[in-house]
Amino acid sequence: MQSKQMDPNQERNPTMPTQKILIVDDDPDLRQALRLRLRANQYDTVSAVDGYSAISQAYKERPDLIILDLGLPAGDGFVVLDRLRRDDKLSAIPVVVLTARDPQNNEQRVLESGATAFFQKPADNHELLEVIRHSLSQCGGKGLPS
């Protein structure tokens, strides 16, 4: 694992403690791609395939950040956002929405529902990583002194 490739888009300071990101997407190929990209940036990842498991994984894993798709089986992204926001234990976790849906009809609603940022797929890797890094530094993830 020592030879693990570094991402040229990398934003993080590698000396920081590892932070955990929950990837919620129903497309396995995309989950895998995000996992590769995030791990190359020294993030730990866990994943969920639908709205229901997103909430249970959030409880179990207590991620520092969630990347959330909107079109999901068993409770779409808005349901997940709503559940997260209403739960005291989970409401502080920043959520970055990454969806193929149209920003014109969804971006405002997503932000009003408590998400930190909205990205339409395919998103620019550099921008996505920058927002993830920024959101984590704002919310003071688990790894940081609170």
Partner 1 sequence: MNPATHVLLIEDNPGDADLVRLRLVESNPTIDVSCANRLAEGIVSLKEKTPALVLLDLNLPDSHGAETFRKVLEKAPDVPVVILSGQDDEALAIKALHQGAQDYLVKGGLTSGALDRAMRYAIERQALLRSLEISRKQQLEFKNQFLSHVSHELRTPLTCIHQYVTILLDGLAGDVTPEQRDHLSTVLRSVNQLGAMVRDLLEAARAESGKITLELGCVSIEELIRSAIAMLQPLASQKGVGLEAGVEGGISFVHGDPDRILEVVINLIDNAIKFTPADGAVTVRASRVTTDPDFVCVSVSDTGCGITVEARSLIFERLYQDPNSVDDSRKGLGLGLFIAKELVSLHGGRIWAASDGASGSTFSFTLPLYSLPKLLLPVITYEGRLREAFVLVRFDLRPKSRPARGNWKEVCKHARELLERCVYLDKDLVLPPMRTAGPEQTFFVVASTDLERSPIMISRIRGQMDKLPDLKACGSFELSSVAVPSSDLPAEISLQEKVEEVARRVTEIARAGVGIPINTQEE
- Which C-beta is closer to partner 1: that of 33 or that of 144? 33
- Which C-beta is closer to partner 1: that of 55 or that of 97? 97
* Residue (of 115, 94, 118) closest to 104 by Cα position: 118
Determine the 3-state secondary structure of 12 from DSSP: coil
**Which x/- pattern, by CB under 8 A, does the window 27-66 give for partner 1?**
x-xx--xx-xx--x--------------------------
- Give the ranges where 16-139 is alpha helix by DSSP (H): 28-40, 51-61, 77-86, 103-112, 125-139
CA distance 144 to 133: 13
Residues 78-137 that bind partner 1 (CB under 8 A): 100-105, 107-108, 111-112, 116-118, 120-123, 125, 127, 131, 134
| Exposure string for 113-144, b = 16+ CB within 10 A, e = fewer | bebbbbbeeebeeeebbebbbebbeebebeee
* Amino acid, res. 38: L
- Which C-beta is closer to partner 1: that of 56 or that of 112? 112
- Which C-beta is closer to partner 1: that of 28 or that of 56? 28
Q: Which residues form the interface with partner 1 (CB under 8 A)? A: 5, 7-9, 27, 29-30, 33-34, 36-37, 40, 71, 100-105, 107-108, 111-112, 116-118, 120-123, 125, 127, 131, 134, 138
